[in-house]
């Protein structure tokens, strides 16, 4: 076997060219999703499948957000119906405990959710943190995000960000609802209040989180635990059905809203 030879400079040039082709392309999007946790990946899967140009920015160098930690680091999480049907559809194996309640391996769920989103056409970019939004007036609307290398932020360097536009921005950042928090603080005219999540009440938390998923301000949407945070809902612990369903619901909401304007 002869391994094809490629010199160092070519490696550099090919990487730079491919990278900048991508950055040029996703500087303008239909949808930007912030966070590649369960709700963000689920939303990305459905949005990309519908044909919308979808980019996910993830602060870390991994997929899955809170899935990876499982339950107190045990490698299992719980899924309940009807989210099991979605997971079966993307090839996740479920261990049934009772009708509608299943255990899933966290590594398998992370890998297969990410694969489903990527295969549907979503672009996922690791190591990038969203730290602000772009807005326009008349009418007041969120029109994109500011992005920065996570490494730059960790080094606490003073570096200005780049801007990425989107017809819809989805906060899938989990418990901290980071994008909505910054928008609420810097754009009080959006009228967003962040009361914070409540203590655990698993039986009701999931349904409420899915039901209250959607647009928070024009152009800005919440999914997953960000919904729990901004709607003062109880938390649910290591059970992820609502995260998957919330991602699907925000995608449906955006698909309906954006199609109206097409």
* Cβ 100 to ligand 48H shortest distance, Å: 18
Is residue 206 a contact point for ligand 48H (CB under 6 A)?
A: no
> In terms of CB distance, is 173 or 184 closer to ligand 48H?
173
Residues 6+ positions from 114 with CB-CB distance below 8 Å: 36, 41, 63, 64, 124
DSSP state for residue 69 in the 8-state scheme: T
Establish how many alpha carbons lie within 13 A of residue 148's alpha carbon, considering only the half-sphere containing its beta carbon: 17
Picked from Fe ion, ligand 48H, none, the partner binding residue 178 (CB below 5 to 8 A depending on kind) is ligand 48H
Q: Which of residues 59-78 bind Fe ion (CB under 5 A)?
A: 66
Q: Which of 52, 65, 92, 230 binds ligand 48H (CB under 6 A)?
A: 65
Q: Rounded to the nearest 5 degrees, what angle is found at the Cα of 36, between the Cα atoms of 30 and 42?
A: 70
Q: Which of 236, 251, 254, 255 binds ligand 48H (CB under 6 A)?
A: 236
Task: Report the alpha-carbon distance of residue 184 to residue 109 in Å, rounded.
Answer: 32
* Cβ 174 to Fe ion shortest distance, Å: 7
CB 189 within 8 A of CB 140: yes
Strands 101-105 and 123-126: unpaired
Q: Which of 26, 30, 31, 38 binds ligand 48H (CB under 6 A)?
A: 38
Binding part of the chain for ligand 48H, among 5-13, 17-25, 86-94, 219-227 by CB under 6 A, reads 219-227
- Residue 150's CB is within 10 A of a number of other CB atoms, namely 18
Picked from ligand 48H, Fe ion, none, the partner binding residue 36 (CB below 5 to 8 A depending on kind) is ligand 48H
Q: Which of 225, 244, 250, 255 binds ligand 48H (CB under 6 A)?
A: 225
* Cβ 18 to ligand 48H shortest distance, Å: 22
Interior/surface letters 72-111, b for 16+ CB within 10 angstroms, e for the rest: eeeeebbbbeebbebbeebebebeeeeeebbebbbebbbb
Picked from ligand 48H, Fe ion, none, the partner binding residue 57 (CB below 5 to 8 A depending on kind) is ligand 48H
Torsion sign over Cα 82, 87, 88, 94 = negative
Longest dimension (CA), the chain: 65
**Per-residue contact track with ligand 48H, 106 to 125, x per CB under 6 A?**
--------------------
Binding stretches for ligand 48H (CB under 6 A): 34-40, 57-60, 65-66, 129-130, 172-175, 178, 200, 224-226, 235-237, 240, 243
What is the contact surface with Fe ion in residues (CB under 5 A)? 66
């Amino acid at each position: 076997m002869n391994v094809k030879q490629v010199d160092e400079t070519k490696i550099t040039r090919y990487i730079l060219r491919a990278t900048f082709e991508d950055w040029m392309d996703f500087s303008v999007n239909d949808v930007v999703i912030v966070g590649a946790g369960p709700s963000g990946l689920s939303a990305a899967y459905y949005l990309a499948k519908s044909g919308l140009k979808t980019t996910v920015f993830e602060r870390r160098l991994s997929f899955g957000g809170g899935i990876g930690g499982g339950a107190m680091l045990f490698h299992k999480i719980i899924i309940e119906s009807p989210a099991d049907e979605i997971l079966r559809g993307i090839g996740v194996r479920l261990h049934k405990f009772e009708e509608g309640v299943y255990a899933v391996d966290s590594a398998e769920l992370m890998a297969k959710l990410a694969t489903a989103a990527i295969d549907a056409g979503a672009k996922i970019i690791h190591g990038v943190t969203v730290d602000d939004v772009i807005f326009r007036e008349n009418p007041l609307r969120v029109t994109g995000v500011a992005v920065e290398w996570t490494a730059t932020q960790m080094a606490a360097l003073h570096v200005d960000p780049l801007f990425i536009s989107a017809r819809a921005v989805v906060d899938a950042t989990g418990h901290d609802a980071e994008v909505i928090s910054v928008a609420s603080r810097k754009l009080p005219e959006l009228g967003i209040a962040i009361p914070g999540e409540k203590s655990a009440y698993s039986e009701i938390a999931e349904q409420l989180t899915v039901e209250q998923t959607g647009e928070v301000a024009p152009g800005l949407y919440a999914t997953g635990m960000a919904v729990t945070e901004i709607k003062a809902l109880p938390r649910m612990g290591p059970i992820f059905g609502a995260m998957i369903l919330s991602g699907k619901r925000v995608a449906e909401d955006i698909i309906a809203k954006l199609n109206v304007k097409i």
